[in-house]
A and B are shown apart, each in its own frame.
Chain A
Amino acid sequence: MPKRLMTLLGPFIGLIVVVALFGAIEPAFLSTRNMMTVAIQTVIVGLGAIGMTFVIVSGGIDLSIGSVIALSSVVTALCARAGLSPAASFAAGVAAGALCGALNGWLVTRLNIVPFIVTLGMMGVARGVSKWLSGEQTVTPSPEASEALASLATKSATSPGIWITIALAVVMALVLKRTVFGTYTYALGSNEDTARLCGVPVERTKVWIYTLCGLFGGLGGVMTFARLSVGDPTTAIGRELDVIAAVVIGGASLAGGKGSILGSMIGALLMAALANGCNLTGVPNFVQEILIGGIIVAAVAVDRLRSARA
């Protein structure tokens, strides 16, 4: 599939350029230890981007994922504090995210409200609920209770969080490309009327897509808890925009029908590498923000130019 690779070429070159540039300025950037840091910093946005890729390919958007991450981190912490097993706390965090996603999907299909509005609403609701559940404070379980989950985010090559993300990315890339569900996702984003004409269960597929996105937001929340060892209701504010940016840099179209998990992962890595490199080389935060903003627009502009010429 040369065309598919062409779409990935732009973001991939961008990633190489960023890595090479920071590596030249500051050799420590390329150290294994720092590369692991970049990888760990990619995990949360990367997990979110997996779910978001499905939503955006289907022609939708999910603005609530940042709030869902916070809610999930609070739920995970509350469960751990209440003495639930690490596995149960993990599952509860993911389930909270999936529930938010399912509600998004249900509202989008049943009330026929555009996803932008539904998920904008959920952004506020999930944030509010996480503050309410946590009593507007960070939730700190005992060190013993959070230890097992914290090991998900250790800064070593054995950090399970990284490998879980990579494995899920591979599985979900296959789901998107090789399953009936994945094909329906592309069909919905490419032309919803065609999908309906072909007997695609439009509503049911959408509910699954948003549930999936919420589920990955939930996973991101568990990983956030793992890193911080506290459940923080104010974490990940604005994170939804990083996730959307990663997916868009990776070649997805907000109009739907285009995008890939691999592209989104490259997009997430690119943003994490940029942030990390800027910190390492002492570039002020505001420069970082300007750079990321420019890259988002440039990535889409390059994609436009290429498809216009093709």
Chain B
Amino acid sequence: MKTERDSNPLLLMSGVQKRFGGVIALSGVDLEVRRGEVHALLGENGAGKSTLMKVLSGAHAADAGECRFDGAPYAPRGPVDALEQGVAMIYQELNLAPDLTVAQNVLLGREPRGTMGWVRADEVRERVGGALAALGSDELQPETLVSELGPGQRQLVEIARALVEDARLIVLDEPTSSLSQEDTRRLFEVVKRLTREGVSVIYISHFLEEVQEIADRFTVLRDGETVGAGVVSETSLEELVALMAGRSLDEFFPEVPHEAGEVILELDALSGERLPKEASLSLRRGEIMGIAGLVGAGRTELLRALFALEPVSSGQVKIKGGVSPARSPRERLDQGVGLLSEDRKGEGLALDLDLATNATLSHMDPFSSRGWIREREQRAAAQRWIDRLAIRCTGPEQRVGDLSGGNQQKAALARLLHHDVDVLLLDEPTRGVDVGAKVEVYRVIGELAAAGKAILVVSSYLPELFGICDRIAVMHRGVLGPSRAVDEWTEEEVMSEATRGVQGEVA
């Protein structure tokens, strides 16, 4: 898979390292991008792709390693500096001002100024027109408001923005995750056109079939290291998946025996407004089921639609055998279903409030009568969960925002336990949690299953799903595949289904 080196690559990174405090994000990355090629950067979530791109764009400085761009040492001081040197980033979340026109967005911050600060309209027309012509898109008019454009066209505006600055290396981060097939095809045409004119593209995507179609060469990252590189046309999908999934870390998953009981939750073709698409599953008491898939596949949307936080457009939810519609999270909680949010700080917890309030907010009936709270009992209830989950804190009165990530997550879990729900929907339960606390969270999940709770876990970390789940199903672009017992899967199979969908099925 090794290819001979290019004597004069556009970008050459070797031995790049980056750490954040005690966490090593990049432990030695090599990346070589040639002139006029599309280079795919591959790797699982958390492999280090984003960090590497932040080093490339100047948002972070590397701690060690060599970086050369166009033969000269390259160490940008920030994104603006990187752009001036010819490196442009185009992120998943586009950075456009919707109330300005295409032309204003393309030149935002770089308006050609005439006397007294007036923007020179003729030059604007010329430069924006040139960039749009280079994209070969005749639909984009400079005077259109960006708010009137679809996601595909907005992406083109971003690329035009890179072109007016004469970017020679454009990084596309998951560019097709929110695009229709039509827009994806159009984007590919633009990418091919750009490379013919000598621009290089780093293409980050989870969708391997796209990579096979558009990319010339690839580099695979895993655990912050380059683990492989080569020519796409000479490498099979299976080889790529194996490179991405291979493990270097052995995780510890506490074994808590639990047994599946009667079916408690059934989804029948549940659809959200966009995602998921007709998801069906059934979950038993005492069972842990994992949902694997890529970021943006619709796993979070599935849990949120199920918990009535997002609208359901069709399909049914059956809880304990009966059809159970719900219009609000309150009704779901009353039916015995609880959700652990993936966004702990933004949604999961009220950071300014104390632990006791956060742990009991959804269920204050046991210690309140006619609306008045018996504070001592509330604190005692919170203290029980602090002890039970070994939450490290100064007491129930401590502000939740002052706890560590792992202890915050336990506080959020404590709320579900306090509510005594029967079905727990856990969205990325160990995100931002250190390794020691992860093991404790796994243990709690196992014990809950042993106590007869049904647990649905969404995680982007495959070893975790394999370590704690009884069954796994994979979601791909909103479609939930059939579940299988965990020992009937390999990580490669899960990865392959997550990136390509269920094989042999008509899409």
Q: A and B from one assembly?
A: yes
Q: How large is the interface on B (under 10, 10 to 19, 20 to 34, 35 or more residues)?
A: 20 to 34
Number of A-B contacts (CB under 8 A): 75
Is the CB of A191 closer than 8 A to any CB of chain B? yes
Partner of B361, one of A179, A183, A257: A183
Q: Across the interface, do B364 and A183 meet the contact criterion of CB distance under 8 Å? A: yes
Chain B residues contacting A190 (CB-CB under 8 Å) are: 350-353
Is the CB of A1 closer than 8 A to any CB of chain B? yes
Residue of B nearest to A255 (CB): B352
Interface on chain B toward A: helix, strand, loop, or mixed SS? mixed
Task: Identify the interface centre among A191, A196, A199: most chain B CB within 10 Å of its CB.
Answer: A199
Assuming the contacts A178-B373, A178-B375, A180-B373, asked whether A199 and B368 have C-beta atoms less than 8 A apart, the reply is no
Q: Across the interface, do B353 and A193 meet the contact criterion of CB distance under 8 Å? A: no
B278 to chain A minimum Cβ distance, whole angstroms, is 26
Q: Across the interface, do A197 and B353 meet the contact criterion of CB distance under 8 Å? A: no
Q: Across the interface, do B347 and A197 meet the contact criterion of CB distance under 8 Å? A: yes
B356-377 interface with A by 8 A CB criterion? 357-358, 361-362, 364, 368, 371-373, 375
Report how far A186 CA is from B357 CA in the complex, Å. Answer: 10
Q: Across the interface, do A193 and B347 meet the contact criterion of CB distance under 8 Å? A: yes
Q: Across the interface, do A180 and B371 meet the contact criterion of CB distance under 8 Å? A: yes
A184-231 interface with B by 8 A CB criterion? 186-187, 190-191, 193-201
Report how far A196 CA is from B357 CA in the complex, Å. Answer: 14
Chain B residues contacting A258 (CB-CB under 8 Å) are: 352
Residue of B nearest to A179 (CB): B371
User: How many positions in chain A have a CB within 8 Å of any CB in the partner chain?
Assistant: 21
Q: Across the interface, do A194 and B348 meet the contact criterion of CB distance under 8 Å? A: yes
Q: Across the interface, do B357 and A183 meet the contact criterion of CB distance under 8 Å? A: yes
Chain B residues contacting A183 (CB-CB under 8 Å) are: 357, 361, 364, 373
Is the CB of B219 closer than 8 A to any CB of chain A? no
Q: Across the interface, do A187 and B350 meet the contact criterion of CB distance under 8 Å? A: yes
Assuming the contacts A180-B371, A199-B330, asked whether A193 and B361 have C-beta atoms less than 8 A apart, the reply is no
Q: Across the interface, do B339 and A197 meet the contact criterion of CB distance under 8 Å? A: yes
Report how far A257 CA is from B401 CA in the complex, Å. Answer: 13
Interface string of A234-262 (1 = CB under 8 A from B): 00000000000000000000000110000
Is the CB of B316 closer than 8 A to any CB of chain A? no
B378 to chain A minimum Cβ distance, whole angstroms, is 9
Report how far A106 CA is from B368 CA in the complex, Å. Answer: 27
Report how far A200 CA is from B353 CA in the complex, Å. Answer: 15
Q: Across the interface, do A198 and B362 meet the contact criterion of CB distance under 8 Å? A: yes
Q: Across the interface, do A180 and B309 meet the contact criterion of CB distance under 8 Å? A: no
Residue of B nearest to A188 (CB): B350
Q: Across the interface, do A257 and B373 meet the contact criterion of CB distance under 8 Å? A: no
B399 to chain A minimum Cβ distance, whole angstroms, is 8
Residue of A nearest to B333 (CB): A199
* Additional A-B contact list (10), CB under 8 Å, known A178-B375, A180-B371: A180-B368, A183-B361, A183-B364, A190-B351, A191-B351, A193-B347, A194-B348, A196-B329, A199-B328, A199-B334
17 pairs of residues in contact across A and B, judged by CB atoms under 8 Å: A178-B372, A180-B364, A180-B368, A180-B373, A181-B371, A183-B357, A187-B350, A190-B350, A190-B353, A194-B347, A194-B348, A194-B350, A196-B309, A197-B348, A199-B329, A199-B333, A257-B353
